[in-house]
Amino acid sequence: MANVENPFGQVLVALITPFDSDGEVDWAATEQHIEDCIVSGADGIVVTGTTGETSTLTDPEKLKLVEVAKSVSSGRAKIITGGGSNETAHAIEMYKASERAGADGVMIVTPYYNKPTQAGLLTHFRMVADATDLPVILYDIPGRAGIPIKYETILRLAKHPNILAVKDAKGDLSEVSRVLNQTDLMYFSGDDPNVLPHLSIGATGLIGVTANIAAAPYRVIVDAVNAGDLHTARAAHQQLEPLVRAAMTHVPGTVAVKYILHGLGRISSPRVRLPLVGPEEWEAALIEDDLSLVRDVPGVDFSNFRPDRNAAAGGALPKIAGTTR
């Protein structure tokens, strides 16, 4: 297949949205966190995705996150807007507004809750992609959406000139291989434990949750794979394993990452918005047990890790409710 220029980057962070203790966006912490991720090696930032708690953000917050990320990055990283909507009309509206706000690309999630047929998915993705000139990543996440984007549907969508990539959170590596063999689509690993397996069969990069904590080792993995250095890539993958387990296994990734970042002193509060809540005592203990096994991960020092289970407890009701309109 023809080579397609990559407009997204390779090490993309599925960015958390830092909140204060009342559940309002902490804009200063957001700016600092984006800066930290870029300095650590990220060349792409995905705002308002699953990890960014898009379903409980307001539309103005989503657009401001694009603007803030664009300003902080100053061209050092691509800014991708995620989330979208399970209402096609609203998704079109938001992606148009995100383009005006300065986004470099859009990530369109499979419509959740509605459970459309594959024909409905095809129409949804095509209409959204038609509405913007930005390059598009399809976000295939059946665990949250309730339905997959089937192989045949991906092949049909690959013919759209704006649809250039897939974020794969399905974990079917054999299907990824089939699509890579038959299309020009780029693949991004959306499953932190499987970043190296995805890259090893031809994926372009990752859109990672754990990269909020440590982007540098993912930069090492991607650069090593690009250079054909499997030994270095595998060593970094193995170093990351307990950190990935801590972030992705016991509670939703957003919850764990905020808990860990707050314990490291990198965000002001671990607060999440309801219906998400902070880890319970036993869940926090499991996270901390895994963190005790982390060794020599670049950019992370757990010697001064000070988790605050009380600060993380519960969830917040923001002043203004998120809305689909």
Catalytic residues: 139, 167
d(CA 267, CA 257): 10
d(CA 20, CA 26): 5
Distances (CA, A) of 108 to 82, 93, 97, 129, 266: 6, 13, 14, 9, 29
d(CA 313, CA 308): 9
Please check whether residue 122 is in contact with residue 159, taking contact to mean a CB–CB distance below 8 angstroms. no
Angle at which helix 253-263 crosses helix 281-291, to 10 degrees, equals 70
Please check whether residue 67 is in contact with residue 45, taking contact to mean a CB–CB distance below 8 angstroms. no
Largest CA distance in the chain: 54
Residue 53's nearest CA partner among 212, 179, 283 is 212
Q: Is 207 annotated as a binding residue?
A: yes
Residue-wise burial string across 277-310, b where 16 or more C-beta atoms lie within 10 A, e elsewhere: bbbeeebbebbbebbeebeebbebebeeeebebe
Distances (CA, A) of 250 to 162, 206, 214, 283, 287: 37, 21, 19, 6, 7
Q: Is 51 annotated as a binding residue?
A: yes
Q: How many CA atoms lie within 13 A of 117 on its CB side?
A: 1
Binding residues for pyruvate, as ranges, are 51, 207
Binding residues, as ranges, are 51, 207
